């Protein structure tokens, strides 16, 4: 399974409760963040990375997100063709 044991078989609300602690702090602090798709796991589920920067660093976060997205293009294409 791609999900950790503690998340298998739980409902959508429980999943949100498990995931939100990783995103709410950035939202509440007003920090710029970007989620970048980087490929798929062995089960074909999407894998991503969340980048967060210091206050007022939107351009830097977006530049890093674009660089990561470009750098992982072949991995995304390769894993998409395997699914």
Q: What is the pTM of this model?
A: 0.70
pLDDT tens readout for residues 15-69: 778 778 888 888 899 999 999 999 888 888 888 999 999 999 999 999 999 999 9
Give the residue among 35, 37, 33 at the shortest CA–CA distance from 72.
37
Alpha carbon separation from 47 to 39, 41, 54, 67, 73 (Å, rounded) = 5, 6, 24, 17, 13
Q: What's the whole-number mean pLDDT along residues 2-11?
A: 65
Residues 18, 28: contact at Cβ < 8 Å? no
């Amino acid at each position: 399974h791609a999900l950790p044991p503690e998340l298998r078989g739980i409902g959508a609300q429980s999943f949100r409760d498990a995931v939100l602690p990783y995103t709410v702090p950035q939202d509440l602090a007003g920090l710029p963040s970007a989620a970048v798709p980087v490929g798929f796991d062995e089960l074909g589920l999407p894998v991503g990375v969340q980048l967060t920067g210091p206050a007022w660093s939107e351009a830097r976060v977006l530049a890093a997100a674009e660089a990561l997205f470009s750098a992982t293009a072949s991995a995304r294409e390769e894993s998409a063709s395997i699914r």
